[in-house]
Amino acid sequence: MEKPLKSIVEIMDPPPYHWVGDGFRVHNFFPSQPQIGLQGMSPFFLMDYGAKWVVPPSDKPRGVGVHPHRGIETVTLAYHGKVAHHDSTGKSGVIGEGDVQWMTAGGAVLHKEYHEKEFSKKGGLFQMVQLWVNLPAKFKMTQAGYQAIENQMMGKYVSDDQKCKADIIAGEYKGIKGPAMTFSPVNLFNIKLASGSATDFSFPESYNSGILLVEGEVMINRSKKISENQFIHFGHSGEEIIAEATKDSILLVMSGEPLNEPIAPYGPFVMNTQDEIKKAYDDYYNGEFGYLED
């Protein structure tokens, strides 16, 4: 028996871009857009989308310098270009096309992110997504950690006709699980659809779900067309989502169980109360986030 189709709340064009540091030109789909706000995609709190642009060559890598986080995980997905990362736990790495950096800020971390050195020298096409995944209150102060998820480590799905391929980063798709360890139920995967092909997936009605169309053109639930760089936000009625590609397409699919907890965000911190935000700043200024050279 076919499950009811998931309702569609809105199809969003990318908002005007802004700069994060001097290296990341991003469109913030949430939480700055009131249609989604702070809770509309929980446990995902933020999505910055760096749509395709050509980075000019530079001997000094562009990026964002040392800054703190508490209460969240940052998830960086590279589609074009390379991103380098360093943090105060001593972890560092470089991700290229198809790779993911999954950093747990937990109670305290300092990190910095830049275009990778050799990519920066040559310049070239750059496209990326950064998500902030909110941590449940009981895990806000967990120890900082880092998962370097190379493309080859991801769960892989390929349809019989080879026209649908999926990289499963977290959660489960078509019975195949992703490698990311999460603190609440999260599904996150990239799906590549050849023109003329289709796929389907389902999530519980209670989950918050969305799709960013990284490339191409897709018909969703036989009723709404989404174009490259648009985000589609689903409602809570129905479970099934059907995607039919009218061009070769890449879809970033995200869905998760909402935390249903108060959110108190300020700057790089996402906590549950204003007192916790004040404590985060006090701890940061008192040097309790460790040290990382800029």
- Domain borders along the chain are 8-285
Region 35-58: what's the mean pLDDT? 96
Region 203-221: what's the mean pLDDT? 97
What is the pLDDT confidence band of residue 3, given thresholds at 50, 70 and 90?
A: confident
Distances (CA, A) of 146 to 16, 71, 85, 112, 219: 31, 14, 10, 13, 36
Region 192-214: what's the mean pLDDT? 97
| For residue 56, pLDDT beyond 90 | yes
| For residue 1, pLDDT beyond 70 | no
What CATH code is assigned to 8-285? 2.60.120.10
How buried is 265 (Cβ within 10 angstroms: 0-12 exposed, 13-18 middle, 19+ buried)?
A: middle
pLDDT 10s digits, 162-185 = 999 999 999 999 999 999 999 999
| For residue 45, pLDDT beyond 70 | yes
Region 9-35: what's the mean pLDDT? 96
The residue with greater pLDDT, 3 or 200, is 200
pLDDT at 2: 72
pLDDT 10s digits, 214-249 = 999 999 999 999 999 999 999 999 999 999 999 999
pLDDT at 74: 97
DSSP the chain: -PPPBPPEEEEEPPPPPEEETTTEEEEEEESSSTTTTTTTTTTEEEEEEEEEEEEPP-SS--EEEEEEEBSEEEEEEEEES-EEEEETTS-EEEE-TT-EEEEE-TT-EEEEEEE-HHHHHH-EEEEEEEEEEEPPGGGTTPPPEEEEE-GGGSEEEE-TTS-EEEEEEESEETTEE-----SS-EEEEEEEE-TT-EEEEE--TTSEEEEEEEESEEEETTTEEEETT-EEEE-SS--EEEEEESSSEEEEEEEE----S--EEETTEEESSHHHHHHHHHHHHTTTT-----
Tokens 């890449």, residue located: 250
Region 22-35: what's the mean pLDDT? 95
Region 117-123: what's the mean pLDDT? 96
| For residue 25, pLDDT beyond 70 | yes
Q: Which of 190-194, 245-249, 286-290 comes out lowest in average pLDDT?
A: 286-290
pLDDT 10s digits, 253-271 = 999 999 999 999 999 999 9
